[in-house]
Structure 1
Amino acid sequence: MNADDFAIDLAAKPEALSRLAEQLAVENPWAAVVPPTAERVVFVGMGSSAYAGGVAAARFRARGFVAVSELASSRLLPQWGPGTLVVATSATGGSVETRDSLRRLPAGVTTVALTNTAGSAIAESCDAVVDLAAGTEVGGVACRSYQHTLALLMALELHLGGRDTAELAASIAMTAEASAYLLDIETMWRPEVADLLLGPAGTHLTAPAHRFSSAQQGALMLREGPRRCAVGCETGDWSHVDVYLTKNTDYRMLVFAGSEWEDQMAEWTTLRGTTVVGVGGTVPGARLEVRYPGDDHDDVRLLTEVLVPELVAARAWQASETG
């Protein structure tokens, strides 16, 4: 992995997203690989792939589909048999746990590899392949591929629901514009955000349940690159599991806006003088808010917002290597 190349990968997000939007405006890649007999969906993956899968499965269930997301390393994979579509996600196509999970599935399932690497081990182990189309990530960190995983799982949701991808393509195009905006004005927000969030006791990120992957992925970016202590939490659950640390630590929190449980969280953060940064909307008690075009559109939020901690992570990583 390389810090400078990671920053280059982030800078290429708008272009990669624009290409994906154009592709999805023309066709849905799932139409060619999902059999009409598919009645249930299982997502398997690790790390970023699992984060995206968790949100996707929840979206599917909310729309009446039978869907789950499991860590590929789990011994408790669903044994649902025929009529099951298994989506094995691995950007590199080499995740050993995900490859192993494919050997532990029941007979009769249809397996599709969602990968950024043609001809990879995952691709060769599945019945069909859907290309993430995120381009080569030279920094060695799954950033564009995470974003494209979310977008393509949303495309699968539309396919199974018998809907076209026009609205999704428009959302991805808006995400490209929002990402370009954040990149263009990075020097106007990122230094202050970093000063507020990179504290001696680590960084905490929260997101609404329907976008929980943003908190998980954002925290991972801070751990993976600059090796900073960071933890992701769901905003409502925060008041039950993470609130305790605000009492005796220099608690720094990034809040992805949009949860109805923010006021409950703010009762504690305000009382205890917690440092809060809001992203994508007004957050009670925030010392700073980072806004971008389209942040009133929930799918644009899901696809865009993690760029904020990614850029904080990239610059902190670069500084750690030159300091």
Structure 2
Amino acid sequence: MKPDGFAADLYRKPEVLQRLASGLAAANPWDDVVPPNIERVVLLGMGSSAYAGGVAAARMRARGVVAASELASSPLLPDWGDATLVVATSASGGSAETLDALDRLPASAHTVALTNTPGSPITQRCDAVVDLAAETEVGGVACRSYQHTLALLLALECHLTRTGTERLASAVALAADASAYLLDTESDWRLEVSEPLLGPSGVYLAAPADRLCSAQQGALMLREGPRLPAVGCETGDWSHVDVYLTKTLDYRLLVFAGSKWEAQLAEWTGERGSTVIGVGGVVPGTQYNLRYPGDSDDVVRLLTEVLVPELMAARAWQAQRR
């Protein structure tokens, strides 16, 4: 993995995402690969792919689709018989656990590889392929491919609910614009966010349940690049699982805005003097709130907000080499 390459990959997000938006406006790639008799969906993946899959499956269920997201390493994969679509996601196309899971599936399942690497092993093991179209990530970190995984799983939701992709394509284009804004203004906001958050006890991130993957992926970027301790949590669940750390640590929290449970969180962090930074809205009890165009749109937030901890991670990683 390469810190300068990672930063360069982030700066290409708007350009590459805009191309994906144009593609989704023209056609839904799932229309060509999903059989007409599908009644159930299983999303498989590891790491970033699993984070995106967990939120995508929950969104599908909220629309009435029978969908599950499973770690590919799990021995407890659903056995739902005929009419089951399995989407195996691996940006590299070579994740050992995901390839192993494909060998353990019922023979009747229809499998589709969602990958950024044409001709990779996963494409040989599945019945069909959908290209992430995130282009080569020279830094070796799944950043654009994570963003494109979310967008394309939302496109799968459109296909399964017989909804056109026009609105999704528009939101993806707006996310590209929002990403461009954050990149263009990095010098205005990054130190305001990173200096308070990068403390001696690690960085903690919280996001609403329908965007939990943003906290998980943001934490992973801080661990994977600069090797900093970081943990992601759901905002409502925070008061049940992470609140305890505010009493004993120099606790520093990045909150992705939008949860109805932010006030409850703010009571604890305010009482215990924790550092809290908000992204994508005005979060109560924060020292600073970072806003960007389109941050009132849920899909734009989902596809954009993780760029904030990604840039924090990239710059911290580069600084370690100086």
TM range (shorter): over 0.9
- Structure 2 match to 1:129: 129
Structure 1: distance between partners of 2:282 and 2:150: 24
Mind listing any 5+ residue stretches in structure 2 that lack a counterpart?
none
2:166 is the alignment partner of 1:147: no
2:86 is the alignment partner of 1:48: no
Structure 2: distance between partners of 1:12 and 1:23: 17
The TM-score normalised by the length of structure 1 is: 0.99
- Structure 2 match to 1:103: 103
Task: Tell me the matched-pair count.
Answer: 322
- Structure 1 match to 2:265: 265
Query: What is the letter of the counterpart of residue 220 of structure 2?
Result: L
- Structure 2 match to 1:296: 296
- Structure 2 match to 1:283: 283
- Structure 1 match to 2:30: 30
Once the two structures are TM-superposed, the CA of residue 248 in structure 1 deviates from its matched residue by: 1.2
Query: What is the letter of the counterpart of residue 209 of structure 1?
Result: A
Query: What is the letter of the counterpart of residue 153 of structure 2?
Result: L
Mind listing any 5+ residue stretches in structure 1 that lack a counterpart?
none
Identity %: 71
Ranges of 4+ aligned residues in structure 1 off by more than 4 Å? none
- Structure 1 match to 2:192: 192
- Structure 2 match to 1:239: 239
Structure 2: distance between partners of 1:205 and 1:237: 12
Deviations 1:184-237 (A, max 9, x none): 000100012110110000000000000000000000000000000000000000
- Structure 1 match to 2:274: 274
Structure 1: distance between partners of 2:145 and 2:224: 15
Instruction: Give the superposed CA RMSD.
Output: 0.4
- Structure 2 match to 1:210: 210
2:201 is the alignment partner of 1:201: yes
- Structure 2 match to 1:77: 77
Structure 1: distance between partners of 2:261 and 2:320: 36
- Structure 1 match to 2:156: 156
The DSSP-based 3-state class of the residue aligned with 2:289 is strand
Structure 1: distance between partners of 2:174 and 2:209: 22
Query: What is the letter of the counterpart of residue 271 of structure 1?
Result: E
Once the two structures are TM-superposed, the CA of residue 81 in structure 1 deviates from its matched residue by: 1.6
- Structure 1 match to 2:6: 6
The TM-score normalised by the length of structure 2 is: 1.00
Structure 2: distance between partners of 1:159 and 1:253: 37
Structure 2: distance between partners of 1:278 and 1:29: 35
Once the two structures are TM-superposed, the CA of residue 321 in structure 1 deviates from its matched residue by: 1.2
The DSSP-based 3-state class of the residue aligned with 2:255 is strand
The DSSP-based 3-state class of the residue aligned with 2:111 is strand
- Structure 1 match to 2:306: 306
